Amino acid sequence: MTGNETRTTAVEAYLRGLQDRLCTLFESFEPQARFRQDLWQRPAGGGGDTRVLADGAVFESAGVNFSRIEGRTLPAAASARHPELAGRPFLATGVSVVVHPRNPHVPTSHMNVRYFEAGEVCWFGGGFDLTPYYPRLEDVRSWHQAAADACAPFGDDIYRRFKKHCDEYFYLPHRGETRGVGGLFFDDLNSGDFARDFALQQSVGDHYLSAYEPIVTRRKDTPYGTREVDFQRYRRGRYVEFNLVYDRGTLFGLQSGGRTESILMSLPRQVEWRYDWQPEPGSPEAELGNYLRPRDWL
Amino acid sequence: MTGNETRTTAVEAYLRGLQDRLCTLFESFEPQARFRQDLWQRPAGGGGDTRVLADGAVFESAGVNFSRIEGRTLPAAASARHPELAGRPFLATGVSVVVHPRNPHVPTSHMNVRYFEAGEVCWFGGGFDLTPYYPRLEDVRSWHQAAADACAPFGDDIYRRFKKHCDEYFYLPHRGETRGVGGLFFDDLNSGDFARDFALQQSVGDHYLSAYEPIVTRRKDTPYGTREVDFQRYRRGRYVEFNLVYDRGTLFGLQSGGRTESILMSLPRQVEWRYDWQPEPGSPEAELGNYLRPRDWL
């Protein structure tokens, strides 16, 4: 194997193991619902392993997607740092997770770890972010503590930088608000030390599990009614707006001829738009607005 | 007044009258629901008159938006034909209509007529298209007959060209299907004869009313149940996908700092995504697929 092949094999092994661990974790919350697996080939090269759990007791939908695609021309959306690589042969592999819980007190969460090679250049990207409907400070703090813990072994400044990048990336200009309370986001990561960068990616993937599990456990049995479900559906509209208008991962997938159903599994199941709706001042629904501006949570 | 001002005044008068006629028509179907009016100013110049009817007996939502905005830098999404005008001062005025009926047997419809000036150049754009859930050949034919009638006084080839443009524009590459059964779409219309172009725009606006009214009348009392509503919500997901990923009108509005709620009033109220769902072969839901490929309907 070439050096490239050795690296790719190691990354892919981590990603496939991570996918299994994620599915095991989510199924552990479910008395009956199980992941459905779809293996798919991409006509232009590569393929993937899409796993979706639908209509669970705890999760309305949970999608855990592994893909490894190869292509002749890197889409422009793939790299902000290396525009000169657009159009070159590439390999992209990653795991994406989007979890939409049923209980509006449990936040939606997203995690992605990905690895690219184009020509002689390779880089990592990824991160995780949390989208609560009825935010609790305790959850937001424990989430960001896990994010900081994931980064701590790799340098004093990493969490602050990745957290800032996350706040900037998951932002809806037309709404003037962030998608949620953020977490970590990094892209074009290539420090020149592959082993270190790969270890950082693994730390991010691993810490997503330990960050999200306790939040689900704490909130999944909180009582709720139609008011909370209505608000959850309304807010899920913002999630759709972000993913379809701004998200580079979604655009990359659609541009590169990805499998549409695997890309759009990130969309929530039940969504509602209401013209010019505003929460009542002082209500729990209005409180969310205070969480959708970047802040130091630790 | 300059020639430009005279033209702008005439176009605006037509558009404002059209907005009134549309609201009157939609309210005539409703025993109780009425349009709410929001007048708004755009900080960077201009403003609009947004009218939304929500939760009607016949219409789940109907939005009829007039806007006239002026700006210092034309967004790139405004003109495909005149990329050199991007960044120049501009005026854009138009009426947009999106109607999402409650009964799944009544198709969603969309109409837009717009007028641009940038520097010494002015042009019209617009069109209308129909998005059925349970299509009826009679409706699709009468819709396209109205479209052909709208164009007939202006040349033998106009309907064919605008119909083709509509099929090409309202297409979702990632789904391999059109948004609906089409109609008319035109852009960058400037034949050098302002009066003729303006008359064509008026004909398109006027024929939308006469095209849609009989379809609503024919289908609004057709019985339906949860199966049809579920399918309607699922298909509305495609409407959202088109508007947020591809629609130049939406992108233009968001890029130019438009009023978000007026732009996104095009989105349906209740929407559902389901992973990898397929209609049963031979079912009424599967029949829709046969309508989502361009065809000569007349």
Determine contact, residues B48/B63, Cβ cutoff 8 Å. no
Over residues A175-198, the mean pLDDT reads 96
- pLDDT of the residue at B80: 67
Active site residue A110: yes
Over residues B206-225, the mean pLDDT reads 98
Amino acid at A43: P
Mutating which of B273, B274, B277, B278 best tests the A interface, going by the most A Cβ atoms within 10 A?
Answer: B273
Q: Which residues of A215-244 are buried (b: 16+ CB within 10 A; e: fewer)?
A: bbeebbeeebeeebbebbbbbbbbbbbbbb
Q: Are the Cβ atoms of A61 and B275 closer than 8 angstroms?
A: yes
Q: Among all chains, which residue has been given the structure tokens 């409650």?
A: B102
Cα A154 to its chain centre, rounded Å, is 21
The model's confidence at residue A2, banded by pLDDT at 50, 70 and 90, is low
The model's confidence at residue A74, banded by pLDDT at 50, 70 and 90, is confident
- pLDDT of the residue at B127: 98
Judge whether residue B1 has pLDDT over 60. no
- pLDDT of the residue at A183: 98
Summarised one tens digit per residue, pLDDT across range A84-106 is: 788 888 899 999 999 999 999 99
The kind and range of the H/E element at B170 are none
Residue A54 φ then ψ, to 5°: -120, 150
Q: What string of DSSP letters covers B100-122?
A: EESSTTSPEEEEEEEEEEETTEE
Q: Are the Cβ atoms of A275 and B244 closer than 8 angstroms?
A: no
Give the pair of three-digit tokens for residue B241.
């996908």
Summarised one tens digit per residue, pLDDT across range B196-212 is: 999 999 999 999 999 99
| Chain A residues within an 8 Å CB radius of B244 | 240-241, 244-245
Amino acid at A202: Q
Judge whether residue A127 has pLDDT over 90. yes
Q: CA nearest A121: which of A192, A73, A186, A69?
A: A192
Q: How many residues does chain A have?
A: 298
HSE toward the beta carbon, residue A42, CA cutoff 13 A: 27
Over residues B174-196, the mean pLDDT reads 96
ipTM associated with this complex: 0.93
A193-to-A68, A78, A123, A198 alpha-carbon distances in Å = 23, 21, 11, 9
Judge whether residue B239 has pLDDT over 80. yes
- Ranking A197-211, A243-257, A275-289, B54-68 by mean pLDDT, the lowest is A243-257
Torsion-angle region of A33 (φ positive above 0: left; ψ -120 to 50: alpha; else: beta): beta
Measured between CA atoms, the residue of chain B closest to residue A55 is B274
Among candidates A174, A240, A254 on the partner chain, residue whose Cβ is nearest the Cβ of B240: A240
**Of A110, A165, A174, A207, which one is the catalytic site residue?**
A110
- pLDDT of the residue at A260: 94
By the CB < 8 Å criterion, does B293 face chain A?
no
- pLDDT of the residue at A119: 80
Per-residue HEC secondary structure of B25-84 comes to HHHHCCCCCCCEEEEEECCCCEEEEEEEEECCCCEEEEEEEEEEEEECCCCHHHCCCCHH
Measured between CA atoms, the residue of chain B closest to residue A38 is B276
Among candidates B241, B261, B276 on the partner chain, residue whose Cβ is nearest the Cβ of A261: B276
For A273, residues 6+ apart whose C-beta sits below 8 A from its C-beta are A234, A237, B264, B267, B268, B269, B271
Summarised one tens digit per residue, pLDDT across range B106-133 is: 999 999 999 999 888 899 999 999 999 9
Rounded Cα–Cα distance for residues B139 and B180 (Å): 12
Summarised one tens digit per residue, pLDDT across range B150-171 is: 999 999 999 999 999 999 999 9
Judge whether residue A1 has pLDDT over 70. no
The kind and range of the H/E element at B3 are helix B3-28
* Beta strands B182-189 and B121-131, pairing class: antiparallel
Closest-CA distance, B60 to chain A, in angstroms, reads 11
- pLDDT of the residue at A288: 98
Among candidates A175, A267, A272 on the partner chain, residue whose Cβ is nearest the Cβ of B273: A267
